[in-house]
Amino acid sequence: MIVKIGRGSNLYGALAYNQLKVDKEKGKVLYMNKMIETKNGLYAVPQLAQSFLPYLLANRNTEKHTLHISLNPDPKDKVDDSLFQKLATEYMREMGYGEQPFVVFKHTDIDRTHIHIVSVCVDENGRKISDKFEKVRSMKVCRMLEQKHGLIPATEKDRRKSNKIFHPVDYIKGDIKSQMASIIRHLPNYYQFQTLGEYNALLSLFNITTEKVESELHGEKRRGLLYFPLNENGEKTSLPFKSSLFGKKAGLPALEGHFAKSKTALKDHPTKPTLKAVISTALQTTNNENAFKKQLIAQGLNVVVRKTGAGRIYGMTFIDHNSKTVWNGSRLGKKFSANAFNEYWQVNHRSTKEEPKSSQSRYTYHQMKVEAEPESIHSFFDFLTDPSPKESYDTDLALIEALGGWLPLDQGEDYEEIDFAYRMNKKKKKKRKSKRK
């Protein structure tokens, strides 16, 4: 069993994410501890949030007060609702949260049935419950639960895989090709996208972009891709790298095959209705781009907005790290297209300028853009990353939670050696062809 622990300051967002699964009949409320229950067993986010309110009001100085934990047994384990409930209560008790209010959601939207637990890490007196050595303690509790309930133990390989993450390319650190290779070689294995534009939106989260090139050699037309590293402003920082340096999967023919497979897989994808509901909620509860992005980031969604030099939006792409799917806004519907967002944010910009000033401090859309901290192209990672060394473990867990814990970190591989072997194989094939002639 693998456990992932996420910490944040958005309790409402954690509850809303799970409740949407319930509303779409892709999950259910499995168990509640010290929570206000209803007679009919039906719940809404505001009602669930009431149980945590006294703890949040008593909270003294804990910024990341919300816990979002997922328990993931091996898919081969036969775990019924009763056992899931035992796993949740015993895990929370052993981790020191047994007396806290918490709600357990069972998710059934993917083949790997699992549970999510939402709680708070401050007690009724407002004091933070200790999270010292949390990673070590969590692993020990998992091994204990596996042994007690006869579950398949997570191997060391599985645990390493769960804790590996990708890092955005940092051109200042050097060895750019290896950094890029560790991302480019593996992203198509985990994410579904239908166009080169959607692929580029995903790559942009890691400071990479790609361009299609066409040429003619000896009367034969050739098509390929060039990859570029980017800086924090989305600007190219070096000469391009040919796709062949990163293996066949990085080339145009392989990606076009991936586009076709993704198109079929995403045609009636179960995530689509939930994704549209989450985006609609964020759109209704925010009035500017910055707030909209932050709210979706809390749900594990990145938004890549492409604009002209004049500031007009011409592209909206949504990246769902929960289902590992990438969606151009127009694929989700007209109200999620670039034109719709242009109109929506421009209307809100005008309306906020017309509102009279109140005695309280308020931000207009214009002020928010100027006074908010500069937003990098990797807002998803910046939002979840706490620069404090003391919180480095929390940072990794938050990122793993959002990415699903399945992305391998292969920056230890020797890509120069891989590239050399690839070129040698090409030479051997050419020699064989020449001999046949």
Q: Please give the full DSSP string across 279-296, using - where no structure is assigned.
A: HHHHHHH--SHHHHHHHH
Q: Quick one: what percent of the chain has pLDDT higher than 90?
A: 37
Q: Quick one: what percent of the chain has pLDDT higher than 70?
A: 76
Helices (H) and strands (E) in the chain, counts: 18, 11
Location of structure tokens 């040698």? 424
The domain ranges of the chain are: 2-163, 171-267+408-415, 271-375
C-beta pairs of 422-429 under 8 Å, 24+ apart in sequence: 422/244, 422/247
- pLDDT at position 387: 34
Mean pLDDT, to the nearest integer, of 304-328?
90
**How many whole angstroms separate alpha carbon 29 and alpha carbon 4?**
19
Q: Which residues contact 101 (CB under 8 A, 6 or more apart)?
A: 33, 34, 35, 51, 52, 55, 119, 120
Residue 209 and residue 230 in contact, taking contact as beta carbons nearer than 8 Å: yes
Please provide the DSSP assignment of 111-167 as one string: SS-EEEEEEESB-TTSPBPP-TTHHHHHHHHHHHHHHHHTPPPPPHHHHHHHH----
pLDDT at 142 over 50: yes
Please provide the DSSP assignment of 348-407 as one string: HHHHHHHSPP-SS----HHHHHHHSPPPPTTHHHHHH----GGGHHHHHHHHHHHHTT--
Beta partners for 7?
67
- pLDDT at position 160: 47
Residue 151 and residue 84 in contact, taking contact as beta carbons nearer than 8 Å: no
Residue 266 and residue 272 in contact, taking contact as beta carbons nearer than 8 Å: yes
Q: Which CATH architecture has domain 2-163?
A: 2-Layer Sandwich (3.30)
DSSP label of 330: H
- What is the pTM (predicted TM-score) of this model? 0.50
pLDDT at 371 over 60: no
